[in-house]
Amino acid sequence: MKQIEQIKEWGGYLNRYTHYANTCQCEMTFSVYLPPQAATQRVPALYWLSGLTCTDDNFRVKAGAQRYAADYGIALIIPDTSPRGDSVPDIPERYDQGKGAGFYVNATQTPWAENYQMDAYITRELPALVEEHLPLLPGIRSISGHSMGGHGALVCALRNPGMYRSVSAFAPICNPSLSPWGLACFSLYLGEERALWEQYDAVCLIKAGAQIPTEILVDQGTADEFLDAGQLLPENLKAACKLMELPLRLRMQEGYDHSYHFIGSFIGEHIAYHAQVLGLRR
């Protein structure tokens, strides 16, 4: 774990690191915001999973989350969205497959399986690494994300009961087995066995009985171009949660699109939600 950047913000530090990831068999880059409280004590962490085409840089630059993290004393862990490097397979002409589109699954298909193990990286290797080397409270963590990363946040929480204290998402791909993005990536990384797809689909996991200890918070803009295109399917998430009596707070935000303007408008409320569950006060 090598630190390659440090920037002081809101009394804390935005750091960037690289390390060799055994799960993904390549060098990975991630960012961490350590609030000022981390100078004297261990703090809980909020993991942020970004969307298609993003790296760790988008959220840390565009969302404005650090000021709220500093207020509450919560670290932000911001991984990349896929494996990287010259030896990592890619489809350069497709923004929604290959590099920048890891989809937070453990790939089973050749040639993707060697590197595209993002579920294992996010839920196993990265937490172990940062909790060993940074002033974080072991096991005290929450998760959030946007679009493909919103899908990832929901699925990581549903697949790993007790690993995250709370989960939220912005415009998540709720039912990727029925979404054009999900269909493309699932068939590429996982093959054609739909039972395997359902293990990475929030709606399918909920219908199969997966539980989350707290209410799921989801914000969705009504002017989101991908909502009308059938990529996100929040209505399916709402129906599944109602069927299984799983608490969901789905907020349809009038006039907001899919961009970081939308995320920046509500990220403070999401961090406040996670902070409350984690027992933090401003």
- Return the closest-CA partner of residue 213 out of 174, 245, 168, 166: 166
Distance of CA 42 to the CA centre of its chain: 22
Confirm whether 147 is a catalytic residue.
yes
Confirm whether 146 is a catalytic residue.
no
Q: Looking at 103-147, list the stretches that DSSP marks H as alpha helix, in order from N- to C-terminal side.
A: 118-120, 126-133
Q: How far apart are CA 235 and CA 243, in angstroms?
A: 12
Catalytic residue among 56, 201, 219, 224: 224
Catalytic residue among 147, 166, 168, 179: 147
Catalytic residue among 146, 258, 270, 274: 258
Residue 135 DSSP code:
S
Confirm whether 151 is a catalytic residue.
no
Q: How far apart are CA 42 and CA 131, in angstroms?
A: 10
Q: How far apart are CA 182 and CA 55, in angstroms?
A: 19
**Which residue numbers are catalytic?**
147, 224, 258
